[in-house]
Amino acid sequence: MLKIDHRINIHDLSGKLTGFWDLSGEKIRLIENQYDESNGSPVFTVNGKYSTRGWTEWTQGFQFGSALLQFDATGNREFLDYGRKKTIEKMAPHLSNTGVHDHGFNNISTYGNLLRLIIEGRIEANEQEKAFYELALKISGAVQAARWTRLNDGGFIYSFNGSHSLFVDTIRSCRSLIISHKLGHFLSGESDKKINLLERALDHLKSTARYSVYYGEGRDIYDIWGRTAHESIFNVKDGSYRCPGTQQGYSGFTTWTRGLAWAMCGFSEELEWLDKCKSDEVESFGGKEMLTGILLRAARATCDYYIASSPTDGIPYWDTGAPGLDKLNDWQNKPADPLKSLEPVDSSAAAIGAQGLLRLGKYLTDKGDEEGNYYWQAGLCVVKALLNEPYLSTKPDHQGLLLHTIYHRPNGWDHIPEGSRIPHGESCMWGDYHFREVCLYLQRIINGDKYYTFFNCL
């Protein structure tokens, strides 16, 4: 169980964050100078060098979005110029990609960050450039919303596996639909039918909360408060739920920790967005009180499970039901061991999950709920662990920023060093990006800057 140190103060991390951004900039330059883009999008490192492997091009937005976060944190225009140039040159295919559920990853991280920086007054831009980013985000949200499976009680954006498949990851792509809607856009369907993007985003959030998250209510014998299923499978003929499944976890009845982290982060940031909504915006979709109750319950549950099922330092193993964990004596009562364990840790889940803990903690604290401090301090503990070795990548020739991440353990895609039984020592694009994002989130609070959200681009 994560051991929460209530003595940690956010300002205690200031010095670490300064060094972090210096190191982060070096890593971005390494990839820019050494990676061959003709190979496709960089995904994860092998012996410290980024390589590509996967089923879709879902990580390119993290590559160029990282440069935009670097500019945001440091003011160094080198990174702004690079991120902006590459977004315009490379990201257009991601806007019209009808075959993925990843629009919130690729396009909010690039076009969304650029528009946010304009709206916040961080960069100068003419009206044409601003309109270009807005158009990109409008299209992205509509294209993502078209990937839709209707259920008797709503619906969901289906995964690349097909119309029967709801991935917990896709909660972060709801941002694309919300931004597109708020920019005044809609999806035009058959016979020019206008499809409301906000309605689809909210339906997807409700479906994820209902089917991807467990609440200890006896759904099956593995029903534990806050556990998540990576994949939920449906009969598309009648819209009925069939069973949990997974692609990258150990089984449908165990918890893949990166999927858990996506839920933590997604529900918490959507809570923040909903809190800023006017009541009449969502009245016809169930009402603000009902929607807040659904999202808050899911956010609390997933964050509680993360805290309860992590080692004491808050860095989780790749799946809480991974078979080798049974052979690790008392693993939940000591720090994770990324080098010598029988199962690999996934620090990318920690970087994503930490943001969920922090956002939920701040949300509750702002509402006068004393439990907010519990989640906030948990998030600080996780970030503190990541900002130190062995997780912070300090070797000058290693292109990654966050070490000991896992991509696809069941498929054996992660690099296993010679002499080791498990993969370790490598980085991934989503881990590096979300490490930067959570550090930017904290730095803005420390500096008294505008609170960082995905909807700051509006």
Q: What is the CATH number of the domain that holds 200?
A: 1.50.10.10
Q: Residue 53: its pLDDT value, please?
A: 85
First-residue to last-residue Cα distance in the chain: 39
Among all chains, which residue has been given the structure tokens 């165990």?
Answer: 254
Contacts of 416 (CB under 8 A, 6+ apart): 422, 423
Q: Residue 260: its pLDDT value, please?
A: 98
- Report the C-alpha gap between 300 and 251 in whole angstroms: 23
Structural domain count of the chain: 1
- Report the C-alpha gap between 337 and 146 in whole angstroms: 43
DSSP assignment of 22-82: HHHHHHHHHHHHH--GGG-S--EEETTEEE--SSS--SHHHHHHHHHHHHHHH--HHHHHH
Q: Residue 340: its pLDDT value, please?
A: 84
Tokens of 138: 């409008």
Q: Residue 230: its pLDDT value, please?
A: 98
- Report the C-alpha gap between 269 and 147 in whole angstroms: 22
Range of 43's domain?
10-457
Beta bridge mates, 157: 148
- Report the C-alpha gap between 3 and 23 in whole angstroms: 28
Tokens of 261: 């982290």
1 belongs to a structural domain = no
Query: pTM for the whole thing?
Result: 0.98
78, 151, 397 from 26: Cα distances, Å: 12, 48, 10
- Report the C-alpha gap between 233 and 212 in whole angstroms: 10
5 belongs to a structural domain = no
Q: Residue 125: its pLDDT value, please?
A: 85
Task: Please identify every stretch of the chain with a pLDDT value under 70, giving residue numbers as ranges.
Answer: none
Q: How many residues does the chain have?
A: 458
452 belongs to a structural domain = yes
151, 156, 224, 291 from 286: Cα distances, Å: 16, 16, 27, 7
DSSP one-letter code for 422:
S
Q: Residues 40-58: pLDDT tens digits? A: 999 999 999 999 987 788 9
User: What angle, rounded to 10 degrees, do the helices at 347-366 and 257-276 form?
Assistant: 30
Q: Residue 405: its pLDDT value, please?
A: 98
Closest CA to 294 of 222, 204, 357: 204
Q: Rg (Cα) of the chain, in Å, rounded?
A: 20
CA neighbours closer than 13 Å in the CB half-sphere of residue 138: 12
321, 362, 367, 407, 444 from 300: Cα distances, Å: 21, 13, 14, 26, 24
- Report the C-alpha gap between 355 and 434 in whole angstroms: 8
* Exposure class string for 89-122: b at 16+ Cβ within 10 A, else e: ebbeebbebeebbbbbbbbbbbbbbbbbbbbeeb
Largest CA distance in the chain: 62
2 belongs to a structural domain = no
- Report the C-alpha gap between 157 and 161 in whole angstroms: 11
DSSP one-letter code for 452:
P
Tokens of 273: 């967005």
In terms of C-beta density within 10 A (0-12 exposed, 13-18 middle, 19 or more buried), how is residue 442 classed? buried
Closest CA to 158 of 118, 85, 100, 203: 100
3 belongs to a structural domain = no
